[in-house]
Amino acid sequence: MTLRRLTALLVLAGLTGCAVPEARLRSGLQSAGLPRPLSACMADRMVDRLNIAQLLRLSDLPTVGDARNVAGFLRRVRALGDPEILGVASSSAALCATGLS
């Protein structure tokens, strides 16, 4: 394998690694009942501020039940017991809902 091909594969793997958690989180937020534009905005902000383990915990939240709105989603996030996740989710929801993001 040439150095050029190996470099291209590493770059592609790096980009895929970033896209998968964001897409999974965005999908999870939508499944929880949050509107598509809000979910996309929140996922974009949250993927840069939380680690992979935290993102995976968040993306799996909707399997517990349907939050239906931001307040319901934040109640479920609070139940995780991780203040960092709650802070990032709350600030992302507020900024994205008001269009300040």
Which pLDDT belongs to residue 27? 86
Q: What is the pTM of this model?
A: 0.74
> Cβ distance 95 to 101 under 8 Å?
yes
Parse the chain into domains and list their residue ranges.
Answer: 20-98
Which pLDDT belongs to residue 66? 62
What are the pLDDT digits (tens) for 34-77?
Answer: 899 999 999 999 999 999 889 888 876 755 556 678 888 899 89
Whole-number percent of the chain with pLDDT over 90: 38
Closest alpha carbon to 46 in 29, 68, 62? 29
Please tell me the distance from the alpha carbon of residue 10 to that of residue 67, in angstroms, as a whole number: 38
Which pLDDT belongs to residue 19? 60
Neighbouring C-alpha atoms within 13 Å toward the C-beta of 44: 9
Secondary structure (H, E, C), 5-31 = HHHHHHHHHHHHHHHHHHHHHHHHHHH
